[in-house]
Structure 1
Amino acid sequence: MSSRTARFFQSTLFRSTAAAGAVVGGTILYLDFIKPKKKPEIVTSYRPLKKNYPVPPSREDLVKNLSGDDGKKFDVLIIGGGAVGTGCAVDAATRGLNVCLLEKTDFGSGTSSKSTKMAHGGVRYLEKAIFQLSKAQLDLVIEALNERGNMLRTAPHLCSVLPIMIPVYNYWQVPYFFAGCKMYDWFAGKQNIRNSTILSREQAEALAPMMDTTNLKAACVYHDGSFNDTRMNATLAITAIDNGATVLNYFQVDQLLKDSKGQLYGVKATDLETKKSYEIKAESIINATGPFADKILEMDEDPQGLPPKEEQKPRMVVPSSGVHIVLPEYYCPTTMGLLDPATADGRVMFFLPWQGKVLAGTTDTPLKTVPENPTPTEEDIQDIIKEMQKYLVFPIDRNDVLSAWSGIRPLVRDPATVPKGKESTGSTEGLVRSHLLIQSPSGLVTISGGKWTTYREMAQETIDYVVKHFDFHGKNIKPCQTNELILIGGDDYSKNYSARLIHEYKIPLKLAKHLSHNYGSRAPMILDLYASSDYNKLPITLAADETFTPSHTSISPQNSLSYQSFDEPFTIAELLYSLKYEYPRTPVDFLARRTRLAFLNAREAMSAVDGVVEIMAQDLKWDDATKEKLRKEARQYIGNMGISPKKFDVEKFTIK
C-alpha cells in the first residue's frame, strides 16, 4: 500500500471516529443536560390515598333491574359467575351492552376458587408441544403467556411475579431444563417478565434451606405470575357492576325459554334467597358454567328448556379432580416456588408461597360425573405429602396441613362428536387445556375449558362472537376494552402501596401488605371502617381466641390491627367492607372467598364461624333459624377442607 493511500485511510478513519465521537457526545449531552427529566417516582406513586369510592347498588336494587317495564330485554344474559362468566360480563358491559349475569351459588365458588393460584403459560404444555410436535399445545402456551402479562397489568394488586426453582439432580438434565426455561422466555416475547437463570447448588441451598440438596447438581429458575383467584373473581364481578351490569349471585336458572321456532329468548330463574321466580329476556344467552356446562346444554336439548329428570353423564366436559393442600410458610422459600417436573405418575407438582403460607399440588384424578361440592380424600392429601417429602430435609407432619381442597378441571371436547352412551371419560392425559366456543341450533352460546390465565381472551372471543352473530338493533357497540381496563382496586395502586398505608394509619407491615395485596387502592376504606363503625365500641371474638376491641387509633395486644392477638389475615373491618361492597350472602362466601381464611387455615376459619354469623346476621337481618342453618353449612363446608382427623370432630363439626 502506498504512503498516499495509507494517509487517505488514516484520514478517513480519523474523520469517521471523530464523527462517531461527536454523535455519542451529542447524544450524552442531550440525554444528560438538555432532555427534560421525568418527575421522581414519588410524585407519581405517592399521591394522597383515595377514600371516596362510591357505594355500589345493593343486591335489592340489582334484582329490581330484572322486573322493569314489560318487554324489557337484556342484550346479553350470562349463566355462571366464575372467571369466564364475570370476565364476559366485564367485556360486554364495557362495550356498552346491557348485561345480566346469574350465578347459582357465589362468584367463584367452584373451580375458579380452587386453582393453583398461578398466572402462567404452562411449562408442562411447552414440553408436550415440543416432544409431541403439538401446535395446539404451543398455541395454548403462547396465548397464556400473553394473557399472563395482561393479568399482571390490569390487576397489579392481585397479581405478582413469582420465581420458580426447578431442582436438578443429574448433570445431563441441567442444559435440558435450562433450554426449556429459555424457550419459555422466548415464546413470551415482549410479555416476558424476567429472564430465566441457573443457580449453583450453594445458591439454591441458601435460598431454600428446607430443600434436600444432598445430590443436587444445580437449579434452574424461571418466572411466572402468582395471584389470588377468588379475590380476582369477586373483583371482576364488582367491576362489571361498576360498568352498569346486573350481576347476581344465588340465582338459579330453572328453565331456558324458547319461542315457537325453538329459539331462545330468555330464562326463568329463582332468587334462592326470596324464592321469587323471574322471567328474564335477552337477545343472546351465554353458558359459562365451567364444569357444569353440560347441565345447561342438557336443558337446551329439551324442547321446553327443562333439565332432564335423571342425572346425565357429561359429553362436553371431561371432569378431572385436582387437589391442593396448604402448609406453614417454612415448607418453602418465602419468595420462590419449587417445581417437581416429574412425579411418580408423570405429572408436575408445584410447591408455592401464597398468602404467607405454602400451597402444594395438584393431583389429576379423572371423574365420571361432576360433583356439586368436591372434597379432597385423605389418599389425595397423602399423595401430595409423599411427593413433597422427596425434596425436604425434615418430615412432613400431617397436622401441619392447614387446609385442603378439590377443584374440577374443566377439560373439554366438542359434544357433537360424542354420541349419547359413549361418554366414558378415561384418561385426561391427551386433552389440551384450550377452550371451546360453540353455538347450538337454539342460539345458546357455550364457552368452556381453558384456564384462569386465559379468562380475558376467552371472554373477548365470546363477546366478539355474540356481537357478530346477534342483532342488537343498531346499538353503538365499542370494540373490546379489557386489554387496558384496570380492575377495581388496581387504580391509583403501586407496589409500595403498603408503605402509604403504614404512614397514614400507623399499622404493622404485615397488615398493610395483606390489605394492599388483596384490596389494592380500596384498602383505606377498610381501615376507615374501624373509626366509623359501632363495632369499635364493643369487644368481639372472631378468629382469635382472645377478645379484642377493633380500633385504628389505639395499639394493644387485644387490637386486631396490631396483629398480636392472632396470626391469620382476617379482620372485622374486612367483613364490614365486604358486606358493603362485595355481595357476600353466607359466612362461607366471606371466609372462603372474600377473604381466603378457610383456604389458608381451616381450623382458624372454623373458630371464626360464630363471630361472622353474628355480624352478618345484623347486617342481612337473619332470623335465628337462618343463622343456625348457615352456621351449620359453614361448619360442614370448612370441615371438609382437609383438617386432620385427629384435630376435628366429624360428628359435631368442631375442633377438638
Structure 2
Amino acid sequence: MSRFLASKFAKTALATTAVIGGSVVYVDYIKPPAVPELVTSYKPLRKDLPAPPKREELVSRLETTPKFDVLVIGGGAVGTGTALDAATRGLNVCLLEKTDFSSGTSSKSTKMAHGGVRYLEKAIFQLSKAQLDLVIEALNERANMLRTAPHLCSVLPIMIPVYKWWKVPYFFMGCKMYDWFAGHQNLRSSTVFSREMTAAIAPMIDDSNLKAACVYHDGTFNDARMNATLAITAVEHGATVLNYFDVVQLVKNEGKIEGVRAVDRETGKEHLIKATAVVNATGPMADKILEMDEDPQGLPPKIPQPPRMVVPSSGVHVVLPEYYCPRDMGMLDPSTSDGRVMFFLPWQGKVLAGTTDTPLKSVSENPVPSEEEIQDILNELSKYIVFPVHREDVLSAWSGIRPLVRDPSTVPKGQDPTTASTQGLVRSHLITQSETGLVTISGGKWTTYREMAEETVTTLIKKFNFDGKNLKPCQTNEIILAGGEDYSKNYSARLIHEYRIPLKLAKHLSHNYGSRSSLILELYQESDFNKLPITLAATKHFEPSEVVNSEGNNLSYQSFDEPFTIAELKYSLKYEYIRTPVDFLARRTRLAFLNAREALTAVDGVVSIMSKELGWDDATSKKMAKDAKDYIGKMGISSKEFDVADFVIQ
C-alpha cells in the first residue's frame, strides 16, 4: 500500500479515492504553486519620447500646404479642443493663436470641472429647462474630463457651511438633486457634517454659530495645463498648431472667406493661409474677428467698436496660503453680500478664492484686478475665518473676462454693452455662421469645451465640402490626452521609488504631467544644475560648473516653497512650445498664479536659460525680462512691492 501511495503521489499528486481490496483509500495531494491573482498591470515608466515637431517645422507647413481643411483662430480651451476634434476625424487642421495657449480667459477660471450648483438652483426656482439642460450637459462633460485627463483633473469635496437649522435640509436636498442629475456619473454621494466634524476638518472656520455643513463633490483641474495639453495632443494627431501668430486680415473671394493673412510675431513675416473653413474661437475677443468679417476687405476697423456678441464682465480670483482652507476640501459661500456665490478651494498647494462679477465696457487682452475687487473677496472670506484676513497674505490675483454671449444680430452697432438689452443672452454656448462663411463658437464654460468643439466640427462637416474625405465620427470622448496614458493615481509613489525624490516634487509632477513626469526627472538627474529651483537659479545666476563646485549650497529644492525646477523649464522648451518667460511662469507652470512675488524673482534666471536655448540677443532678452516683470507685477502685488522686487532682481 505504501509503495502504491508513493507512486501515485509522485506521478499525479492529485486527490483521488479508490477501492483496493475492499478498502477505500483516500490519496491527498500537495497543490502546485498558485499563480498570483494580483499581477501588476503597470507599464514601465516612459523615459524617452521623441520631441514634437519644432515650431520652425510647423511654420514651414504654412508654405507647403496649399489649403487646409480647417483653420481655427484662437488657442484657448475651445480653439484647441476644436483643432483636436477636427484632426482626429481626419481633417487637415491649422490653429493660430495671437499670444500663447490659454493666455486669456482659459487660464483664469475657478479651476472647477462642474455642473454648476447655482444653475441647478435657478433651474428649479425659475422652472428653466435651459438651465437644467446646461447643468446636465456640464455634469456629463465633467465625467469626460476626469476620464480623458486623469492626471490634471480630480474629485474635490466642497462644503457649504450652514448657520440656520432650517437651511440644513434645504442645502442638503439641493446637493442630493445635484447627485441625482449626474446619474451614473455621480462622483460621490453628498452628505452632512455635524458642527464638530466640520470644525475638525476645517479648524480655520469660525464655528461659533455653525449648525452643520452640507458636502457635495465636483471636479477640480489645472486649466492652463489642460489647455496646453490639448494643443500638444492636437499636434501629435497631425494638426499644425502655432502660438504667437496674429491674424491681421480675413481673405475673401467673391464675398466668401477663403483664408487669412497672419503675421509671425517672432519673425515679423506675413503668411497667406488658405482653408476650406475658418473658425472664430477667440472667446471674449470674438467681436474683433466679427468686425473684420464685416469689412469687405477683411480688415479690422480703424476705430475700436463696442462688443456686440460678448457681454464683458470681469471675474477676479485671489490666491492665499494653504491655511485658509482645508487641504482636501473646498468651501462654497452660497449667499454673498451682492447675491453671488463664492468659492474657496484648495488648488496646487494654495487656496483659490473668487470670483467677482464687474461689468465692463470693453474687452482687454490682459485685464488687471482692481484693489476694490480683491478687497471684496477678502471681506467675504473674513465672515468665515477664525483669524483676521490680511491683504499681505494675497500671494497672487488675476482678472479674467467671463464668456457670456448673445446673438450679435440682436444688438445695434455702436451700442454701449453695459446698457444693451439682455435679449438673446445665451447661458450656454452659441455657434453662428455669417454670410461670408465664418463660423463663430463662443460662450459656454471650461467644463463643456469638448462638447462645444464637437458641435463646431459637426457643423463644419454639414456646411462645407471637404473634397469627399471619408471622415470618422467624433473621437474625443475616448482619446486620452497627453500625459494621461498609463497614468494611475499612485503615480507619485512610483516616481519616488524610481528617482528617490521628495513627495512634494513627485506629487507636483505627477499631477501636472502625468505619465510624462519621468521625462522631466530624466532631465532632473542629468546634472545638479537641472535640480535647482528656478527661483534659486534666478537669484544666484549659477552656471552648471559653478553649481557643482560651490560649497554650502543646498541643491535640493526642499529648501524652497515652490517645486519648480530648471529640469521642468528645459522640458517645456523641448516639448511644450514655450516662447516667452511668461509662457513658462504663468501657464506651463502656475508659479505666477500661485505666488507672484516668487515668480518675479525667477524671471531673470528663466530669461538666461531661455536665451541660450532659443538664441536670443541681448535686446530680446531685456525685452522679455521687462515684459514678464510687467505682467507678473500686476498680479495682485502692490506698486510699492513691485518696484522693490524689480530693483532687487535686476
Using the TM superposition, name which of 489-498 and 525-534 deviates more. Answer: 525-534
User: Could you tell me how far apart the structure 2 residues matched to 1:567 and 1:454 are?
Assistant: 34
Conserved? CA contact 1:118–1:227, under 8 Å: yes
User: Could you tell me how far apart the structure 2 residues matched to 1:254 and 1:506 are?
Assistant: 50
Q: Tell me the secondary structure at the aligned position of residue 352 of structure 1.
A: strand
- Structure 1 residue runs of 5 or longer lacking an equivalent are 1-35
Conserved? CA contact 2:538–2:603, under 8 Å: no
User: Could you tell me how far apart the structure 2 residues matched to 1:280 and 1:293 are?
Assistant: 20
Q: What's the counterpart of residue 273 of structure 1?
A: 266
RMSD, aligned CA:
2.5
- Structure 2 residue runs of 5 or longer lacking an equivalent are 1-33
User: Could you tell me how far apart the structure 1 residues matched to 2:101 and 2:257 are?
Assistant: 25
Q: 1:537 to 1:123 in 2, by over 3 A?
A: closer
- Map 1:30-69; keep pairs closer than 5 Å: 40=38, 43-44=40-41, 46-68=42-64
Q: 1:177 to 1:277 in 2, by over 3 A?
A: same
Match of 2:508 among 506, 514, 538: 514
AA matched with 1:396: V
Q: 1:478 to 1:438 in 2, by over 3 A?
A: same
Conserved? CA contact 2:533–2:565, under 8 Å: no
Q: What's the counterpart of residue 14 of structure 1?
A: none
Count of residues in Structure 1 that have an aligned counterpart in Structure 2: 615
AA matched with 1:63: V
The answer to whether structure 1 residue 597 and structure 2 residue 597 are counterparts is no
Q: Tell me the secondary structure at the aligned position of residue 96 of structure 2.
A: strand
Conserved? CA contact 1:538–1:549, under 8 Å: no
Match of 2:296 among 295, 303, 308: 303
Q: What per-residue deviation string (whole Å, max 9, x for no partner) do you get for residues 96-134 of structure 1?
A: 100000000000000000000000000011111111111
Q: What's the counterpart of residue 24 of structure 2?
A: none
Q: 1:655 to 1:263 in 2, by over 3 A?
A: same
Q: What's the counterpart of residue 4 of structure 1?
A: none
Q: After TM superposition, give the deviation of residue 645 of structure 1 in Å.
A: 4.5
Conserved? CA contact 1:606–1:654, under 8 Å: no
Q: 1:531 to 1:495 in 2, by over 3 A?
A: same
- Map 1:123-522; keep pairs closer than 5 Å: 123-260=117-254, 262-426=255-419, 432-522=426-516
Q: 1:199 to 1:548 in 2, by over 3 A?
A: farther
AA matched with 1:488: A
Q: Tell me the secondary structure at the aligned position of residue 388 of structure 1.
A: helix
User: Could you tell me how far apart the structure 1 residues matched to 2:567 and 2:646 are?
Assistant: 29
Q: 1:634 to 1:306 in 2, by over 3 A?
A: same
User: Could you tell me how far apart the structure 2 residues matched to 1:164 and 1:553 are?
Assistant: 46
Q: After TM superposition, give the deviation of residue 419 of structure 1 in Å.
A: 1.6
% identical equivalent positions: 74
User: Could you tell me how far apart the structure 1 residues matched to 2:317 and 2:417 are?
Assistant: 26
Q: Tell me the secondary structure at the aligned position of residue 558 of structure 2.
A: coil
- Structure 1 runs of 4+ with >2 Å offset: 36-40, 421-433, 530-554, 556-560, 562-565, 644-648, 650-656
Q: 1:256 to 1:519 in 2, by over 3 A?
A: same
Q: What's the counterpart of residue 25 of structure 2?
A: none
AA matched with 2:294: E
State the TM-score, normalized to the length of structure 1.
0.90
Q: After TM superposition, give the deviation of residue 410 of structure 1 in Å.
A: 1.2
Q: 1:395 to 1:427 in 2, by over 3 A?
A: farther
Q: 1:536 to 1:82 in 2, by over 3 A?
A: closer
AA matched with 1:415: P
Q: 1:351 to 1:142 in 2, by over 3 A?
A: same
Q: What per-residue deviation string (whole Å, max 9, x for no partner) do you get for residues 327-369 of structure 1?
A: 0000000000000000000000000000000000000001111
The answer to whether structure 1 residue 622 and structure 2 residue 616 are counterparts is yes
Q: 1:313 to 1:573 in 2, by over 3 A?
A: same
Q: Tell me the secondary structure at the aligned position of residue 344 of structure 2.
A: strand
User: Could you tell me how far apart the structure 1 residues matched to 2:358 and 2:307 are?
Assistant: 16
Conserved? CA contact 1:401–1:644, under 8 Å: no
User: Could you tell me how far apart the structure 1 residues matched to 2:524 and 2:563 are?
Assistant: 16
User: Could you tell me how far apart the structure 2 residues matched to 1:427 and 1:404 are?
Assistant: 30
Q: What per-residue deviation string (whole Å, max 9, x for no partner) do you get for residues 392-421 of structure 1?
A: 000011111000000000100000111213
User: Could you tell me how far apart the structure 2 residues matched to 1:653 and 1:86 are?
Assistant: 38
Q: After TM superposition, give the deviation of residue 53 of structure 1 in Å.
A: 2.0
Q: After TM superposition, give the deviation of residue 541 of structure 1 in Å.
A: 6.1
Q: 1:204 to 1:445 in 2, by over 3 A?
A: same
